[in-house]
């Protein structure tokens, strides 16, 4: 250990905050990230591990055994990146098309009207909403207050310190299927962990990529994952709407697989390496060569056809986003912050242009480096880890507001060299799992010659032929 690290340990500054772990159980990957806030309020990443996800479809755990193995692999990789970590409790992201949301209204009449409103009264008002009637088989995941009212005063962001007789609020309630929630909790527990809280994935991603200006201007966070696309809409500093769209990157991969008649691994690699969300931007004369199966002839695939398939599905997803924005009355004039795209699917080429065309709003990619301390490897700032970083931030929100109980004694853990910018190569060797099937060396793009190029080559060939004949006569 270096002298600087010893000094940090002795000062105790780095250990006044707990280590909080975010676990993102996704359709394509499971990621575990351990983080702690430093003295400047920025997140230091102390451990990072990921694994391929097999037992999850459309954001829902279907095969518990496979999911447990994937969680354990992600944890092993996390420990490999920092052996000093001890992981026991995690914040877990939840998504899936079973997620629903509804708006409710709640009020309480105060007993001591002369005194100022206290946090305990707000907590009681929120707790009352957990008794809201919801369909059988569903369970309330979260209750989020929107704007408060105190007597005749409306649109109060925080009523603590006000005095009055009646306190009320509008609430955004998020519900999910009991069985789906049970499967997540069971998978986490059997992997040797305890679920500290379940957090809706778009809210976690929003916390990671948004700043205060975005919240004030009004934004739509679109988190494009493997199995689902999650939406969270904020306006005037308030969460207005959440939705889970049942399409994601896996649907695009399957469209490519079925449309072009290739293997799923080939479809995924073509999407990542050569895919574009706009067919007009793809080269018309570029082709991808795929090796034939078991002695069959190689297959040539047009890059433009590939882009057309991707554009069709991405346009459908963005149409859903536009539909939800219109449902809550937030059209193009009101969301000045536009659309923030995040998640693994947001890295598709030309997706920003397609999003702006379909929704009529400005768009940008949201990276989870808004709250990250400097000096970390670039891998951690990729949009696919927005949910994990946001889960850690949600944990810190609970810690700072004393919503959950945390250990009072915090272990002295430093940022490992493997996750620092200086050691990128070491890190990738440590934390990533072996790829399923490397096909980079057999997938090649080649430019087809145009008619003019073809005629020019014939012309040059004829000239060379005549030259050879003249040379032989001489």
Give the pLDDT confidence of 315-328 residue by residue, as tens digits. Answer: 999 999 999 999 88
Placement of tokens 């206290």 in the chain: 118
What pLDDT is stored for residue 347 in this prediction?
Answer: 92
Average pLDDT over residues 244-268: 93
What pLDDT is stored for residue 376 in this prediction?
Answer: 84
Give the lowest-confidence range in 46-55, 324-333, 347-356, 362-371.
324-333
What pLDDT is stored for residue 467 in this prediction?
Answer: 53
Confidence of residue 384 (pLDDT cuts 50, 70, 90): very high
Say whether pLDDT at 4 is over 50.
no
- pLDDT per position as a tens digit, 417-431: 777 765 444 433 433
Confidence of residue 59 (pLDDT cuts 50, 70, 90): confident
Question: 291: which 2 tokens?
Answer: 């090796």
Q: Which residues contact 374 (CB under 8 A, 6 or more apart)?
A: 42
Cβ distance 211 to 419 under 8 Å?
Answer: no
Confidence of residue 84 (pLDDT cuts 50, 70, 90): confident
Confidence of residue 463 (pLDDT cuts 50, 70, 90): low
What pLDDT is stored for residue 268 in this prediction?
Answer: 93
Confidence of residue 370 (pLDDT cuts 50, 70, 90): confident
Residue 130 and residue 125: Cα distance in Å, rounded? 10
Average pLDDT over residues 229-235: 94
What totals of helices (H) and strands (E) does the chain contain, helices first? Answer: 13, 19
Distances from the Cα of 289 to the Cαs of 283, 286, 299, 439, 442, in angstroms? Answer: 15, 10, 6, 11, 8
Q: What is the DSSP string of 256-282?
A: HHHHHT--HHHHHHHHHHH-BS-GGGS
Q: What letter does residue 381 receive in the DSSP assignment?
A: G
- pLDDT per position as a tens digit, 168-191: 999 999 999 999 999 999 999 999
Say whether pLDDT at 366 is over 90.
yes
Give the lowest-confidence range in 150-154, 317-321, 386-390.
150-154
Residue 283 and residue 303: Cα distance in Å, rounded? 7
- State the distance between the two ends of the chain, measured CA to CA, in whole angstroms: 81
- pLDDT per position as a tens digit, 392-417: 999 999 888 877 766 654 566 777 77
Distances from the Cα of 94 to the Cαs of 89, 182, 227, 307, 377, in angstroms? Answer: 16, 11, 12, 31, 26
What pLDDT is stored for residue 294 in this prediction?
Answer: 76
The pTM for the full model equals 0.84
What pLDDT is stored for residue 396 in this prediction?
Answer: 92
Cβ distance 170 to 103 under 8 Å?
Answer: yes
């Amino acid at each position: 250990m270096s002298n600087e690290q010893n000094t940090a340990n002795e000062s105790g500054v780095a250990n006044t905050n707990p280590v909080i772990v975010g676990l993102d159980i996704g359709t394509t990957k499971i990621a575990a990230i351990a983080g702690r806030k430093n003295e400047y309020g920025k997140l230091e990443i102390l451990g990072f591990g990921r694994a391929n996800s097999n037992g999850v479809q459309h954001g829902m755990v279907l095969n518990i055994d496979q999911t447990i193995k994937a969680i354990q692999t992600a944890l092993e990789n996390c420990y490999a990146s920092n052996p000093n970590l001890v992981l026991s409790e995690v914040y877990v992201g939840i998504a899936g098309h079973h997620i629903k949301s509804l708006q409710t209204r709640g009020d309480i009449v105060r007993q001591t009207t002369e005194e100022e409103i206290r946090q305990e009264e707000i907590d009681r008002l929120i707790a009352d909403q957990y008794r809201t009637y919801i369909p059988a088989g569903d369970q309330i995941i979260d209750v989020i207050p929107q704007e408060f009212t105190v007597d005749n005063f409306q649109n109060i962001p925080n009523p603590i310190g006000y005095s009055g007789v009646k306190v009320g609020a509008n609430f955004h309630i998020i519900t999910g299927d009991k069985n789906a929630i049970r499967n997540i909790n069971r998978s986490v527990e059997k992997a040797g962990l305890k679920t500290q809280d379940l957090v809706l994935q778009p809210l976690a991603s929003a916390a990671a990529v948004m700043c205060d200006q975005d919240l004030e201007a009004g934004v739509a966070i679109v988190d494009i994952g493997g199995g689902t696309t999650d939406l969270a809409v904020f306006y005037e500093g308030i969460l207005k709407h959440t939705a889970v769209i049942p399409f994601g990157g896996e649907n695009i991969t399957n469209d490519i697989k079925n449309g072009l008649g290739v293997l799923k691994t080939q479809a995924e690699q073509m999407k990542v390496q050569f895919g574009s969300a706009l067919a007009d931007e793809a080269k018309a004369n570029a082709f991808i060569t795929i090796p034939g199966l078991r002695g069959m002839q190689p297959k040539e695939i047009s890059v433009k056809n590939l882009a057309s398939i991707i554009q069709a599905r991405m346009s459908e997803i963005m149409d859903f986003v536009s539909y939800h924005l219109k449902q809550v009355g937030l059209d193009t004039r009101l969301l000045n912050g536009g659309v923030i795209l995040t998640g693994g699917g947001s890295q598709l080429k030309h997706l920003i242009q397609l999003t702006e065309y379909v929704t009529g709003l400005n768009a940008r990619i949201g990276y989870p480096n808004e709250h990250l301390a400097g000096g970390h490897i670039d891998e951690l700032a990729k949009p696919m880890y927005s949910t994990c970083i946001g889960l850690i931030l949600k944990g810190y929100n609970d810690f700072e507001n004393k919503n959950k109980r945390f250990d009072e004694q915090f272990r002295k853990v430093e940022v490992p060299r493997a996750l620092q910018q200086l050691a990128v190569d070491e890190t990738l060797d440590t934390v990533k799992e072996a790829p399923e099937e490397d096909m980079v060396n057999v997938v090649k793009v080649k430019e087809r010659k145009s008619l003019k190029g073809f005629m020019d080559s014939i012309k040059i060939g004829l000239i060379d032929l005549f030259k050879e004949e003249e040379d032989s006569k001489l």
